[in-house]
Chain A
């Protein structure tokens, strides 16, 4: 098993302008020093609340956004500074599926044109050959042949998402970044799409980076989960470990807040105070202002590093016994 994608110390800062001359007054740290790796054929979940930077990471990997710092390795090669022409080849390998299926499909193109466009761009395929491939792809994602000449608005949300999936598959990618692929869908349709994604993964040996805020969906889809809080990873581990034995106080609170469809479920509900705020003091742990655990002095002053506390289980929290004691 090889590492298909490796992200090292990725940061993305957006400039904040202000003042009389509209100068850059500070940075908005959307992603701050994030590292993770993705094994080929596996699914890594990027989980966090809105504003935690999960979509920004996805876009940096596709180079739709230029990272401020850090390195992205795809299949062993550094893709952080590829030129536009080289990027085009990369886009044949990495594709993205978006949250709002209606907004990510061109309303003036038919389904056949939407799915056929990447074939033309990447493989110069057109005419009957392209049509055959498109129909084959439509069949794979569960669309019918008669949908070929229809327009996106004629479809329900679930069907639109199938079109988006077929378009992403057209170039035979190895890695797909799924940005909240089912959060706009109803549960019964969500289940259909999730199962489709799993089938496609088995069939085409795909690797997924699965971005979501829905922990239930992540538990179902992912092999490994990375939790983000304000642009930093706070915990990474295998899915079962994250859900059974979370170590970071934020992870614990988040898991206790999942509304499980089970009225008999007895568990301690940890309700954390306040909400996500980027105006935390820049030193110290980003979660410290909301943390419900007994804080240490270090929490407010020293940012906790992400360290491996058990095999393949990384946590960034001063409260963890394995955390080295800071020498201040």
Chain B
């Protein structure tokens, strides 16, 4: 690969201490993203997709969380060894995040203007820690706020909020769910981030609004050259919005491929099961297949491949050994013993 990776997660292991025992949340996550990628991270509840994403801006509370092995590097810099103040600057300038629930992520007591201007000012302040005696030479606070206001209106225009210059004085409750999500996207873009992490951005929204937000994200990718990590449990959203997909199961990426290849030619039994479980066109009554069993307990996960108790094609080796990730096609890899190494 000629282009260096923007984000490189290698063999990441994450554990949480709880009263019931140690929860092994991530067990060797490998994930690479190049600049301009739109990668979908798919999996069911508890598979670790949000935890993987949160480990990039290092937003996992530690303790109780603990990274026991692995590396996260961004633009060649090692994230895990940064100090907390370096992390603050890093988050402000390189990573923007949006979350599932646009209601809880906006403060109901402040107008959108106050919240957006704050975000813009915070991002600007990072990296230019001016010593006190030089403060007087900075552009006046008033002017900075004015500039930040203009930038905030610009961000609202960019994210498709009509009448941004007037609506910026409104409170969050005066916005609908879709519009609130747009405000949050605007806020995430305030620092011109390289990477936008979208954690289930459309799960709380109706389908017609979901389509609007996905279209917005795609247009931002085209306009700003954003790199997007889209976390979702909805395979349809991935098919519509992403170029590459990584499927996670119980703390590992078990298959990764370009999006078309994954849907046409899924390799891992879990991926196959997941695709077969979605009610699609042309599936007649009784034709839907679920995956038997349920997601494993992460305190005492199954030995070997964590999927083996639910797998239809389980072999003896699966019960004892963790399968390595092998290439099964062009940019297509999976962690399953059904496929021999060195194809």
Contacts and interface: CB of A to CB of B under 8 A. Distances in A.
A271 B178 CA distance: 13
Contacts of B54: none
B238 to A, nearest CB: 8
Nearest to A49: B206
A190 B277 contact: yes
B235 A188 contact: no
Nearest to B259: A263
Contact of A195 (B260, B273, B281, B286): B286
Interface stretch (B122-130, B188-196, B208-216, B325-333): B208-216
B239 A259 contact: yes
A263 B286 contact: no
A256 B44 CA distance: 25
B263 interface: yes
B224 interface: no
A219 B285 CA distance: 10
A191 B277 contact: yes
B208 A253 contact: yes
Tell which of B179, B211, B279 has the most Cβ of chain A within 10 Å.
B279
Contact-residue size bin, chain A (C-beta under 8 Å from the other chain): 35 or more
B237 interface: yes
A145 to B, nearest CB: 18
A26 interface: no
Contacts of B288: 191, 194-195, 220
B44 A215 contact: no
A310 interface: no
A294 interface: no
B207 interface: yes
A50 B103 CA distance: 15
Given A194-B288, A216-B279, A261-B239, A276 B206 contact: yes
A187 B177 contact: no
A312 B280 CA distance: 24
A258 B207 contact: yes
B280 A262 contact: yes
A187 B211 contact: no
B301 to A, nearest CB: 16
Contacts of B209: 49, 275
A261 B177 contact: no
B109 interface: no
B277 A259 contact: no
Interface in A203-230: 213, 215-217, 219-221
Interface of A: 49-50, 156-159, 186-195, 198, 213, 215-217, 219-221, 243, 253-254, 256-265, 269, 271-272, 275-277
Closest 9 pairs between A and B when the two form their complex, measured CB to CB:
A259-B236, A191-B290, A192-B290, A220-B279, A188-B291, A49-B206, A261-B235, A186-B44, A191-B277
Given A216-B236, A260-B239, A263-B239, 7 more contacts: A193-B290, A194-B288, A195-B288, A220-B283, A221-B279, A259-B234, A261-B235
Interface of B: 44-45, 176-179, 206-212, 214-215, 233-240, 259-260, 263-264, 273-281, 283, 285-286, 288-292, 294-295
12 contacts: A187-B233, A191-B279, A194-B279, A215-B207, A216-B278, A220-B285, A220-B288, A258-B207, A260-B239, A264-B260, A275-B179, A275-B206
